[in-house]
Structure 1
Amino acid sequence: MVIVTTIRRDVLTLPVAELGPDNPLPPLRPLDETHRVDDRAGADLPRDMARQIRYEPLRSVLPERIRDGYDRRREPRGIDTIVIENDRLRAVVLPGYGGRVVSLFHKPSQCELLYRNPVVQPACFALNGAWFSGGIEWNIGATGHTTLSCAPVHAARVPAPDGGEMLRLWEWERLRDVPFQVDLWLPDGSDFLHVGVRVRNPHERPAPLYWWSNIAVPEERRVLAPADEAWHFGYERRLRRVPVPEYEGVDRTYPPRSVFPADYFYEVPDGQRRWIAALDDNGDGLVQTSTDVLRGRKLFVWGSGPGGRRWQEWLTEPGTGGYCEIQAGLARTQLEHVRLDAESEVSWLEAYGPLATDAGAVHGADWALARAETERRLSEVLPRSDVDAAYEAWLPYADTEPGEVLAVGSGWGALEVLRASHKLPGTPFEESTLGEPQAPWVELLRTGAFPEPRRAGPPGESLVAPHWRDMLETAPAKPLTEYHLGVAQWHAGDLAQAVRSWERALELAPSLWPLLRCLAVADQEAGNRERAADRYAEAFDDLCQERRDDGPAWTAATAALGREAVGALLAVRRTGEARRVRDRLRPATRARGRFRLLEAELLLAEGDRDGARAVFDEAFEVADLREGAETITALWTRLTDEPLPPHYDFRMRPTPD
Structure 2
Amino acid sequence: MTSLTRATRRLSAAPIDSPNPLPPLFSGWDIHQVEGAGDADEEMLAGARYGRISSVLPYLDQDSYGRDRAPAEVDVVVLENERLRAEFLLGMGGRLWSLEATDPATGVTTELLHRNELLQPAHFALRNAWVAGGVEWNIGTIGHTVLTAEPLHTARVRGPDGEPAIRMYEYERLRGVVYQVDAWLPGGSAVLAVHVRIVNPTDADVPMYWWSNIAVPENDDVRVLAPADAAWKFDYSGIINSVPVPVPEPGRADLTYSARAHDAADYFFDVTATSRPWIAAVDGTGSGLGQVSTSRLQGRKLFLWGSGRGGQHWQEWLSGPGAPYLEIQAGLARTQLEHLRMPPGASWQWVEAYGPLHTDPAVSHGRDWAAAREQGESAIQLMLGGIDLEEVLERTAEWVDAEPIEVIEAGSGWGALRQRLMGGRERVDRPGTPFTAGTLGADQRDWVAVLEGARDWSGDPSVPPRSYQVDQQWDAHLAEMTGWQALLHRGVLAAARDEPAAAEDFFRRSLEAEPTAWAWRHLARVLDHRGRPEEAADCYRRALALVPEFLPLLREGLDALLAVGAHDDALDRIDALPADLRRAGRIRLAEARAAVGAGRLDRAGALLADLEVPDLQEGDTVLTDLWIDYRRAGGDHDPGAIDIPRHLDFRMKTDPAGA
- TM-score normalised by the chain length of structure 2: 0.94
State the partner residue of 2:626: 635
**Separation (CA, whole Å) in 2 of partners of 1:631 and 1:450:** 44
Unaligned runs of 5+ in 2: 637-641
Q: Please list the CA deviations of residues 254-312 of structure 1 after superposition, one character each: whole Å capped at 9, or x if unmatched.
A: 00111111000011133442000000000000000000000000000000000000000
Q: Pick from 389, 405, 408 the counterpart of residue 407 of structure 2.
A: 405
* 1:265-276 superposed matches below 5 A: 265-276=268-279
* 1:421-432 superposed matches below 5 A: 421=423, 422=427, 423-432=429-438
Q: Counterpart of 1:506 in 2: which secondary structure?
A: helix
Q: Pick from 263, 267, 273 the counterpart of residue 264 of structure 1.
A: 267
The answer to whether the 8 Å contact 2:88/2:95 transfers is: yes
Q: Cα 1:87–1:161, aligned 2, differ >3 Å: closer, same or farther?
A: same
The answer to whether the 8 Å contact 1:443/1:449 transfers is: no
**Separation (CA, whole Å) in 1 of partners of 2:28 and 2:607:** 29
**Separation (CA, whole Å) in 1 of partners of 2:453 and 2:237:** 51
Q: Cα 1:139–1:242, aligned 2, differ >3 Å: closer, same or farther?
A: same
Q: Counterpart of 1:469 in 2: which secondary structure?
A: helix
* 1:349-388 superposed matches below 5 A: 349-382=351-384, 386-388=388-390
**Separation (CA, whole Å) in 2 of partners of 1:255 and 1:51:** 30
Q: Pick from 59, 76, 95 the counterpart of residue 90 of structure 2.
A: 95
**Separation (CA, whole Å) in 2 of partners of 1:184 and 1:246:** 36
Q: CA RMSD in A?
A: 1.6
**Separation (CA, whole Å) in 1 of partners of 2:231 and 2:455:** 53
Q: Please list the CA deviations of residues 33-66 of structure 1 after superposition, one character each: whole Å capped at 9, or x if unmatched.
A: 111100xx23742121111111111211101111
Q: Give the superposition deviation at 1:620.
A: 2.3
State the partner residue of 1:626: 617
Q: Counterpart of 1:625 in 2: which secondary structure?
A: coil
The answer to whether the 8 Å contact 1:95/1:154 transfers is: no
Q: Please list the CA deviations of residues 67-108 of structure 1 after superposition, one character each: whole Å capped at 9, or x if unmatched.
A: 111000000011111000111100010111100011000022
Residues 1:251 and 2:254 are matched in the alignment: yes
Q: Give the superposition deviation at 1:368.
A: 0.2
Matched letter for residue 492 of structure 1 = R
Q: Which moved more, 1:27-36 or 1:360-369?
A: 27-36
State the partner residue of 1:28: 25
Q: Counterpart of 2:119 in 1: which secondary structure?
A: coil
Residues 1:74 and 2:80 are matched in the alignment: no
Q: Please list the CA deviations of residues 551-605 of structure 1 after superposition, one character each: whole Å capped at 9, or x if unmatched.
A: xxxx6xx111111111212222223322233234332121022221111111112
Residues 1:18 and 2:36 are matched in the alignment: no
The answer to whether the 8 Å contact 2:457/2:484 transfers is: no
**Separation (CA, whole Å) in 2 of partners of 1:656 and 1:222:** 25
Q: Give the superposition deviation at 1:396.
A: 2.1
**Separation (CA, whole Å) in 2 of partners of 1:568 and 1:524:** 9
* 1:382-531 superposed matches below 5 A: 382=384, 386-421=388-423, 422=427, 423-447=429-453, 449=455, 451-453=457-459, 456-472=462-478, 474-509=479-514, 511-531=515-535
The answer to whether the 8 Å contact 1:513/1:539 transfers is: yes
The answer to whether the 8 Å contact 2:198/2:348 transfers is: yes
Matched letter for residue 64 of structure 2 = G
Residues 1:543 and 2:547 are matched in the alignment: yes
**Separation (CA, whole Å) in 2 of partners of 1:419 and 1:506:** 28
Matched letter for residue 432 of structure 1 = G
Q: Give the superposition deviation at 1:115.
A: 0.6
Residues 1:300 and 2:303 are matched in the alignment: yes
**Separation (CA, whole Å) in 2 of partners of 1:345 and 1:536:** 45
Q: Give the superposition deviation at 1:385.
A: 6.4
State the partner residue of 1:57: 52
**Separation (CA, whole Å) in 2 of partners of 1:584 and 1:43:** 51
The answer to whether the 8 Å contact 2:191/2:383 transfers is: no
The answer to whether the 8 Å contact 2:267/2:301 transfers is: yes
**Separation (CA, whole Å) in 2 of partners of 1:127 and 1:395:** 33
Q: Give the superposition deviation at 1:450.
A: 5.8
**Separation (CA, whole Å) in 2 of partners of 1:52 and 1:470:** 33
Q: Pick from 564, 579, 587 the counterpart of residue 572 of structure 1.
A: 564
State the partner residue of 2:574: 582
Q: Percent identity?
A: 44
Q: Give the superposition deviation at 1:454.
A: 5.2
Residues 1:126 and 2:125 are matched in the alignment: yes
Q: Cα 1:656–1:288, aligned 2, differ >3 Å: closer, same or farther?
A: closer
**Separation (CA, whole Å) in 2 of partners of 1:643 and 1:43:** 32
**Separation (CA, whole Å) in 2 of partners of 1:450 and 1:152:** 32
Q: Give the superposition deviation at 1:608.
A: 0.7
**Separation (CA, whole Å) in 2 of partners of 1:572 and 1:222:** 50
**Separation (CA, whole Å) in 1 of partners of 2:175 and 2:475:** 15
Q: Counterpart of 2:352 in 1: which secondary structure?
A: strand
Q: Give the superposition deviation at 1:437.
A: 0.6
Q: Which moved more, 1:638-647 or 1:429-438?
A: 638-647
Q: Please list the CA deviations of residues 420-471 of structure 1 after superposition, one character each: whole Å capped at 9, or x if unmatched.
A: 2434231001110100110011111121646322574112211111222343
The answer to whether the 8 Å contact 1:86/1:187 transfers is: no
**Separation (CA, whole Å) in 1 of partners of 2:445 and 2:580:** 32
Matched letter for residue 652 of structure 1 = M
Q: Please list the CA deviations of residues 314-359 of structure 1 after superposition, one character each: whole Å capped at 9, or x if unmatched.
A: 00122x2200000000000111001111111100000000011100
Unaligned runs of 5+ in 1: 545-554
**Separation (CA, whole Å) in 1 of partners of 2:64 and 2:417:** 26
Q: Which moved more, 1:113-122 or 1:440-449?
A: 440-449
Q: Give the superposition deviation at 1:615.
A: 1.0
Q: Counterpart of 1:562 in 2: which secondary structure?
A: helix
Show structure 1 runs of 4+ deviating over 6 A: none
The answer to whether the 8 Å contact 1:464/1:487 transfers is: yes
Q: Counterpart of 2:452 in 1: which secondary structure?
A: helix
**Separation (CA, whole Å) in 1 of partners of 2:204 and 2:265:** 35
Residues 1:284 and 2:287 are matched in the alignment: yes
Matched letter for residue 513 of structure 2 = L
**Separation (CA, whole Å) in 2 of partners of 1:377 and 1:451:** 62
Q: Which moved more, 1:623-632 or 1:172-181?
A: 172-181
Q: Which moved more, 1:637-646 or 1:417-426?
A: 417-426
**Separation (CA, whole Å) in 2 of partners of 1:255 and 1:608:** 43
Q: Pick from 306, 317, 320 the counterpart of residue 317 of structure 1.
A: 320
Give the number of aligned pairs: 636
The answer to whether the 8 Å contact 1:168/1:183 transfers is: yes
State the partner residue of 1:551: none
The answer to whether the 8 Å contact 1:562/1:585 transfers is: no
State the partner residue of 2:639: none
